[in-house]
């Protein structure tokens, strides 16, 4: 049971290049999330998928696209990378029960992305 797996762990891009960050979870969770974390800003939601087949914008979606490939996998794509997208990216998953209080986020180990 690996939990949430993100790849790659590190990536350096040139401005204008594209790339896809991969995320997979093996906990059969309904919801998956992509966050970015910048110094002094905390975690900010980029996109989320409440269930397989649905995706929604979060707080900072500009410059990103996502795909919920199946229940396990949720990818984040940068079509034309910009220096402002230099950040640490975290994927997370969460099981959702109506009225349950034990639901929580499970995070991957993060991707350190630098855009030059």
Residues 92-111 that bind other proteins (CB under 8 A): 92, 96, 101-102, 104-105, 107-110
Question: What gap in Å lies between CA 5 and CA 32, rounded to an integer?
Answer: 12
Q: Which is nearer to other proteins, 23 or 81 (CB)?
A: 23
Shortest separation between residue 80's beta carbon and other proteins, angstroms: 27
Task: Report in angstroms how near the CB of residue 82 gets to other proteins at its nearest.
Answer: 23
Contact pick of 1, 14, 40, 62 for other proteins (by CB under 8 A): 40
Nearer to other proteins, 1 or 14 (CB): 1
Pairing verdict, β 31-38 and 87-94:
antiparallel
Tokens of 30: 């309904």
CB 22 within 8 A of CB 73: yes
Nearest of 67, 24, 22 to residue 47 by alpha carbon: 67
Are 68 and 91 within 8 A, CB to CB?
no
Write out the residues near other proteins by the rule CB under 8 A: 4, 40-45, 50, 90, 92, 96, 101-102, 104-105, 107-110
């Amino acid at each position: 049971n690996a939990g949430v797996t993100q790849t790659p762990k590190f990536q350096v891009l040139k401005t204008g290049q594209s790339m896809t960050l991969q995320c997979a979870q093996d906990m059969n969770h309904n919801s998956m999330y992509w966050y970015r974390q910048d110094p002094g800003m905390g975690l900010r939601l980029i996109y989320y998928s409440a269930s397989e087949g649905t995706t929604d914008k979060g707080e900072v979606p500009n410059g990103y696209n996502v795909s919920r490939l199946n229940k396990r996998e949720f990818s984040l794509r940068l079509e034309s990378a910009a220096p402002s997208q230099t950040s640490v990216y975290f994927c997370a998953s969460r099981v959702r029960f109506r009225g349950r209080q034990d639901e929580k986020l499970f995070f991957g180990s993060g991707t350190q992305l630098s855009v030059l």
